[in-house]
Amino acid sequence: MCGITGYLGYKQAAPILLEGLKKLEYRGYDSAGIATLENHQINIKKGVGAISKIDAKLQFSKLHGTIGIGHTRWATHGKVNQINAHPHLTQSKNLIIVHNGIIENFEELKNKLNSVNLISDTDSEIALYYFENKLNKGLTIKEAIKEFLKEVKGTLAILFLNTQTNEIYAIKRDSPLALGIGTNEIFLGSDIYAFSKFTHKAIFFEDNEFAIISNKGFRFYNQNGLEIIKKITKFNWVKEEKKNKNFEHYMLKEIYEEPKCIERLSISLNSDQKNKIQNLKNLILNSKKILFVAAGTSYHASLYATYLLTRLGFDARAIIASEFSNIGLVDKETLIIAVSQSGETMDVLDAIKPVKNSCYSLVSIVNVPHSSIERLCFLNINILAGQEIAVASTKTYSNELYLFLKLSQELGMKINLEKIFDNVKELIENNSSQIKKVAQLLKNKKDIYIIGKGSGYAVAREISLKLKEVSYIHAEGMMSGELKHGTLALIENKTPVIILISEKHDPILSNLKEVESRNAQAILISPYYGDFKIPEGKETFALYASILGFLLTYEIAKLKNLPIDKPRNLAKVVTVK
């Protein structure tokens, strides 16, 4: 889940690499580093912590050279320290590496290269010496990479910088990698956002492809070393606005952007993506079974989608991607819908790749255009939330929910979506004081329970996730009917229970009585009960309740002085198993 960048051109590389790393920091923020070359002079700076902190100390822009590579790390092998930070350099100083992924046969390769004294604890460094070993034996660059792809197991997005030839070797397997094309300059990045400021033309690496980049240009090859012609894609990207001084954190800024993001998606679904939503509608009508495949927040959005489609009479289920191979039964009448903010979620990719040709059709719902999941599917719908900086997904989740509401409306469900943008805006603005009041009550709690019924169950799961990842509070989101099947034993005096009530005469009210009789601290999110101001609407309740949950989570984390945008141990995109 690291981010990698590369540049070769006529400009100073370091400022361009730094810009790319800042855009990729959502992929990891344990450490970062940049390496550049100037007349074969190697310049490397790296450190631990956020990029802004490292840059303030080391001043990356002072690195000279028109070729270079950069890395922002989310640790998988080796502790978070200066030594394990990328880039890594061989003792001969001939090769430098940055790597996103995991080399699974690290120990096996290490044993084969027993004469090498590794400096770091990373798996990436063994790849560096493996590759140098092959070159030292007289293999050509293409031959060395062919052997590398045959023998190395695991996920790879690697950039090797050859300090003798001023070339960059880019290799991709499972982890994302793209090449950007400018005028007499080449950019590389884990996604197009890394270089979208400089160019809107890209080539996307597929698995087991590699490229050799020099001042003469670039060439692509397959795993057998045969040159291949790649399609150049012109892309458009919804850029995020500059950080507003009125917002202390990106998470809050992105919550406040939700009305605008939903409106943008609505316009698209009624114009340029209108045919896509109609095609998805027809696929659903002509399939026997619909399986949503997702992880984390997108899985909770998928739970909501199955609630809506089931109410319409369809056989729809949401399956956590990492368990899809164990419980997902697929045949030629099964429609699979992969949902992912990044479009690079490894668990989702692993789930859908084996069944691509054995299902009725494969659809993606993603936020990042031209991502790996999108390129794998037959039909793609973009949720157009724009770049999300905070690790906790908010506006992407809301756009996913709106998309499912629009789809359900197209399939015949009576839903009024005309005022939804205004409703979301008013919801955010009108509940600020109450949110802060409840946050004060919950900030020191160790356990919080969230219960919901119907669409409220998906919301309960999502709010509990946000409380865990941003506020560092153990939270459990569950079906309200399951409360008395065990969990009620944990409800005692002042235990906080958030209850999601979508209807005036909701059966969940009986669960409210159960927790109140045990002196629990009941907090109601409802259009009809409690102190929150929330619009009516059974179908749209999930969207509104989720936003309140996001705001509550944010305020709790703020009161606890936590790193809201960059929670510990987490990265936004999970591209490793």
Three-state DSSP at 90 gives coil
HEC letters along 307-327? HHHHHCCCCEEEEEHHHHHHH
Known active-site residue 2: yes
Q: Fill in the DSSP letter of residue 75.
A: -
Backbone angles phi, psi at 171, to 5 degrees: -130, 140
Residue 274 exposure: Cα atoms within 13 Å on the Cβ side: 4
Nearest of 99, 128, 116, 104 to residue 190 by alpha carbon: 99
Maximum Cα–Cα distance for the chain, whole Å?
78
Question: With contact defined as beta carbons under 8 Å apart, do 247 and 253 qualify?
Answer: yes
Task: Pick the catalytic residue from 2, 261, 359, 377.
Answer: 2
Cα(3)–Cα(246) distance, rounded to whole angstroms?
29
The number of residues in the chain equals 577
Cβ-based burial of 434 (10 A; exposed 0-12, middle 13-18, buried ≥19)? middle
Cβ-based burial of 417 (10 A; exposed 0-12, middle 13-18, buried ≥19)? middle
Task: Pick the catalytic residue from 22, 45, 558, 572.
Answer: 572
The 361-366 sheet, strands edge to edge: 316-320, 289-294, 334-340, 361-366, 379-382
Hey, what are 379's tokens? Answer: 């039909």
Active site residues: 2, 572
